[in-house]
Structure 1
C-alpha cells in the first residue's frame, strides 16, 4: 500500500466529512469521548455498506488499511486543485 501525500490530513478531513454523512444517514453521532479508532472503523463499515468504497480483504482489515481507504475515498471526493492533493 503506497502512502498518500498528506495522508494524515486527508484522514482528518475524511473523518469530519464522514461524520456528517453518517448523521445524514440517521446515525446518532459519535460521542465526544469516542476514540479515533472507533470512528475510523464505523465510518469504514458505513461506507462499505453503502457501497461507496470497496471492502478490504478479510485478512487485511486492520486499522492502518482502514485509514488508508478513508484517505483514498476523500481524495477522490475533493476537487483536483484542493491544497491537500498538491
Structure 2
C-alpha cells in the first residue's frame, strides 16, 4: 500500500464529504462523542456497500487500510483544481 503524499489531509476531507454523503443517504449524523476511528470505519463500510470503494480482503481489514481507501476515494472524487489534489 503506497501512502499518498497528503493522506492525512485527504482522510480529513473524506470524513467531511463522507458524513454529508451518509446523511443524504438517510443515515443520522455522527454524534459529538463519535471518535474519528469509528467514523472512518462507518464511512468505509458504507462506501463499500454502495460499491464506491473496493473492499479490503478480510484478513487485511484494519484502520490504516480503511483510511487509505478513504483517501484514495476522495482523491478521485475531488475536482482536478482542488488544493488537496494540487498538493499531491
Common fold by TM > 0.5? yes
Q: TM (normalized to structure 2)?
A: 0.94
* Structure 1, gaps ≥5 residues long: none
* Aligned twin of 1:30: 30
* Structure 2, gaps ≥5 residues long: none
Q: TM (normalized to structure 1)?
A: 0.97
Quick one: distance in 1 between partners of 2:56 and 2:33?
27
Q: CA deviation at 1:59?
A: 0.8
1:42 aligns with 2:42: yes
The aligned runs of 1:49-68 (5 Å cut-off) are 49-68=49-68
Question: Which structure carries more relative contact order (alpha carbon 8 Å, separation 6+)?
Answer: 1
Say how many residue pairs are matched.
Answer: 86
Which runs of 4 or more aligned residues in structure 1 lie more than 6 Å from their structure 2 counterparts after TM superposition? none
Quick one: distance in 1 between partners of 2:61 and 2:23?
24
